[in-house]
Amino acid sequence: MAIVHDRANPRADLADAVQDFNSDDYQFIAEQVLPVRDVRKKAANYSIISAENNSGNDNTAAKGSRLNKIVMMAEDDGYKCVKRGLAIDVLNEDADDYADDYDAEVESTQVLRLNNLINKEIRVAAKAFDTTVFSGATKFTDMSSAPWSDSTSDIVAQLKVAKIKVWQNCGFEPDSMAISYEAFEHMMANNSIMDRIKSGVITMDLLAAVLAPMCGIRKIHVGKGQANTADEGQSYVGGAIWSPNYCLVYKSTQQNMKYPGLGWSFNWLGNGKVTLGVASYGDASIDGITVQEVEYRDEKIHENGRYAHLLKIN
C-alpha cells in the first residue's frame, strides 16, 4: 500500500533555525573549496574561459594593414543538480515530554541540517582528493617519502613544487590549499615552519593566517569535520572526512567566469513546483510531523582538475 501523507509545506520558522545553526563549530570547508553558484536550470551546459586565451598573439601591425584577429576559447562542460535531502520525525509525545528542555522541532531540524552538511563535506572531500582526476605529473606529486608526519620534512618546499605545477598548467598562481586537521597539526609541529615563527604561544587560527603567506598562498582551509562511522544505535566512532594523506593546492574559483578556478557547487533554485529548503508535513501514522530539508546540488571540478595540484603527503 502506498504511503499517504500531507503535502510538505515550507517552514520559514524552521528555516530560520537552520540559519541560526552554528556549523562553524564543526569546521566544514566544502563551500570554501567549491563555492556555491546558484542556477535557475536543474541541468545545463556552461562554458569556462580557458587558459589557452593567454597566448600573447603577435599584435604588430604595419601601417595601413588590418589588425590580427584572435579567437576567444572556452571549455564547455555541463552540470546536473541531483536531489539531496533527509527527513526526521518529530513525535507529538516527544515534543510535549521535552518542551521544558528544548524545542523538538527546532533541534530536530538542526540535527537534519548537520547531517546534510556532513554529506556535502564528504562529497567535496572525495572530489578534492580524487587521484583519478588529479593524476599525472602535472596534477599529482607523491611526497610520501618525506611525509608531513615527519617533523624534519620540508613542507614549504613541497608546497612550492605544487604551486609551480599549477602555474605552469593554467597560467594562474594558486592562492588556496585544502588539508585535513591532522595534516595541519603536522604543519604546526614541523621544525622548519616553527623555526620561522618562534613567537611563543600561538593559536591555530593565527598560525593558519601566518602559514598561508609563508607558503605563498592566501588561504589555508582546514577540514576538521568528522562523520560517525558506527552503525545506528551504536556508540559514536568518529572518522575524519578529509584524509590526512593529501593536500590540494589550487586556484580558488570566482563567480566571474573570466577568472576560472578549481570548481563550483551548483545549487538549483527550483521552479516553484518543487519544495526546496526546510518543510514539514503531518503524518497520522506516527502522531506527529516529519521535517525535511531538500536541495539540488552538483559539485564540479573544472577542466578535469587543471587549476589544482594534489600532493600525497603521508
Q: How far is CA 38 from CA 31, 80, 84, 267, 271, in A?
A: 12, 13, 15, 5, 13
- DSSP 8-state symbol, 258: T
End-to-end CA distance of the chain: 53
Q: In the β-sheet with 140-142, what is the strand arrangement from edge to edge?
A: 140-142, 308-312, 246-250, 176-180, 219-223
Mean pLDDT, all residues of the chain: 88
pLDDT tens by residue, 40-61: 999 999 888 777 777 777 788 8
Beta-bridge partners for 37? 266
- Residue 123, phi-psi category: left (phi > 0), alpha (psi -120 to 50), beta (remainder): alpha
Q: What are phi and psi of 91, to 5 degrees?
A: -80, 140
- Per-residue pLDDT at 199 exceeds 60: no
At 243 the pLDDT is: 97
At 159 the pLDDT is: 95
Mean pLDDT score, 129-141: 97
Which residue do the cell numbers 588539508 mark?
Answer: 179
At 22 the pLDDT is: 64
Neighbours of 102 (CB within 10 A): 12
* Dihedral, CA of residue 192, residue 196, residue 202 and residue 207, to nearest 10: -80
User: Parallel, antiparallel, or unpaired: how do β-strands 263-268 and 36-39 relate?
Assistant: parallel
At 3 the pLDDT is: 46
pTM: 0.87
Mean pLDDT score, 147-160: 96
- DSSP 8-state symbol, 189: T
Residues 314, 312: Cα–Cα separation, whole Å: 6
